[in-house]
Structure 1
């Protein structure tokens, strides 16, 4: 298991699933996706992102592209090739998780203990 999946697994209510096949590890909080790790080819992670921030990150970093096979307004696909710092990647994972938590109903948040 890579260090980013291990980080995700420390977040309350997170589960690891493979609904798109073994080459994509999908991290969910409750029933909602917040990180998709691709092991097919160069390693990447797709993360939910606030639209203005998503655009800003894409302008700043060539390693960050619009979400692959996802809503490009709300998702970024990030290359895990070593050019971004661990802190930058961790902040993007945290932001994605937090956005998904905020989109949940009170009952859904209660079910995962937040």
Structure 2
């Protein structure tokens, strides 16, 4: 998936806002003011950071060792950095969905308006 496809997918989720709090090179997607996806626009190749269950984070790193690594500049237990263009779009979307769900669950708020 390219950056625009990732961006549109994230923005298609209910309650998501897009910001650039770290400068124009990083898109940050939030739900209930909590980050769940970061896209590094200046990284070549493109990278994204997603929140993960700690056990799932380790499993993904083991299964895709050169494509999923501990979160760059993030809590390594709860975040992974991913090279999305090297994975199939179904898996990338699942990672984004799982990250969104973790943030939604943590805030204790419903998806409904």
Give me the TM-score of the superposition, normalised by structure 2. 0.91
**Equivalent of 1:96 in 89, 95, 99:** 99
Aligned to 2:15: 13
Runs of 4 or more above 6 Å deviation? none
Structure 1 gap ranges (5+): none
Aligned mate of 2:33, from 31, 34, 49 = 31
For residues 21 and 113 of structure 1, the distance between their equivalents in structure 2, rounded to whole angstroms, comes to 31
Structure 2 equivalent of residue 74 of structure 1: 78
Q: Is the 8 A contact 1:48 1:99 kept in 2?
A: yes
Q: Which runs of 5+ in 2 are unaligned?
A: none
Aligned-partner Cα distance in 1 for 2:105–2:43: 32
CA distance in structure 2 between the partners assigned to 1:72 and 1:41 by the alignment: 19
Q: For residues 92 and 3 of structure 1, what CA distance do their matches in structure 2 show?
A: 14
What is the aligned residue count? Answer: 109
The aligned counterpart of 2:112 is 113
Counterpart of 2:89 (choices 86, 89, 93) is: 86
Partner of 2:49: 46
